[in-house]
Structure 1
Amino acid sequence: MFAVLKTGGKQYKVQSGDVLRVEKLAADAGDKIQFNEILMVGGDSPVVGSPLVADAAVQADVIDQIKGDKVINFVKRRRKHSSKRTKGHRQQLTLLRITDILASGADASGVKAAVGAGSVAGVPVATPKKAAAKKAAPKAAAAGGDDLKKLSGVGPALEKRLHENGVTTFAQIAAWTEADVTEMDEKLSFKGRIEREGWIAQAKDLASK
């Protein structure tokens, strides 16, 4: 008998005894878990879900929490003074051994459901609040700030990017050091503009008015 289960946005065809690597789950090594999102159960009498097979499940033992192979992503920006960088990433995974495929009786098995590491009972933890906070931050920061569009070369889009980086007043810009200018050049992707446009001198003048 085999089954097709869904976890971490991916589908896996499994049989009893298979060793599987999946997106990280909230479980410790040695735990027994159960996948309840079963798309198909195969065998002598195959059952295809619509979309899921009711009361079916796949049970597994957690072998270990591991990391995938390191992936290097090379980024080169065009027309940005040959700016380039590399970023590395290792996906967090859970290593499992499939133990049982249940065509029925999943609800009464008593085995805890497999849940993603960033979720509780399948619901992402605090994601909506975080997203709302990020969207609200620029508006809140700009509410008591200066009109940065008075600076030479600053339009609505660039003003928004400055707000997103915590810059809302002329006084902040007037106090920038060389290190601050270099850092902001990178964040805004407009290398040299701050010095060419004379933002610091303009900001000092505007802040004093």
Structure 2
Amino acid sequence: MKKIVRVLKKVVLWFFILSIGAVIVYRFVPVFFTPLMGIRMVEQIAAGESVKCYHKWVPYNEISDHLKRAVIASEDQRFFQHNGFDRVEIEKAMKENKKRRRPRGASTISQQTAKNVFLWPQSSWVRKGLEAYFTVLIEFFWPKERILEVYLNCMETGNGIYGAEAVANRHFNTTASKLTAAQSALIAATLPNPRRFSSKNPSPYMLKRQQQILRQMQNIQLPKKK
């Protein structure tokens, strides 16, 4: 029994060392591959499909400010005010979910970044707990601009498409830096389910959502560039 306890202590210790180390490394190093990309590739192979993984890292200042405002407007309007968890949205979700058949989440961009970079997409109490842990770490070690930079580079934006540059190339024949407000709002509109909704061939619902996001973008202020 003592041996098992010692082994467990070592496992926990190494988990903390490796997880904190990874977060510190990714504070400076581009994230070229995520667990989600690997999972999607395995799913494609299992389904007998050709493997698709389009992704290209671009720095924060090479991503359109329109896209930054669009994802904040769509996903997390208090991103620059909270510490990783939006208590206002959590309380709203808890009240609404008492009446909703399908519960809505209240995940922030920080939480989604933690999930995308370090974890897996399937929801469970274990993943939620680890997601909270990594959210605290990245909020502590990374500035908000870095969290947003990583999110915009790693978010799933289509079938086998990840990040701002890849979706700009494949859906709009442009670059992340040249995305317009309308294009950015369409991309943001797909984020709840980018494999179902397409920014390349938007449905009437998507176009309606695009207009809502465009209006909300007018209220989003980004920090002044240094």
TM-score range, shorter chain: under 0.3
Choose between structure 1 and 2 for higher RCO, CA contacts under 8 A separated by at least 6 residues: 2
Larger radius of gyration: 1
Per residue, is there more helix in 1 or in 2?
2
The TM-score normalised by the length of structure 2 is 0.21
Per residue, is there more strand in 1 or in 2?
1
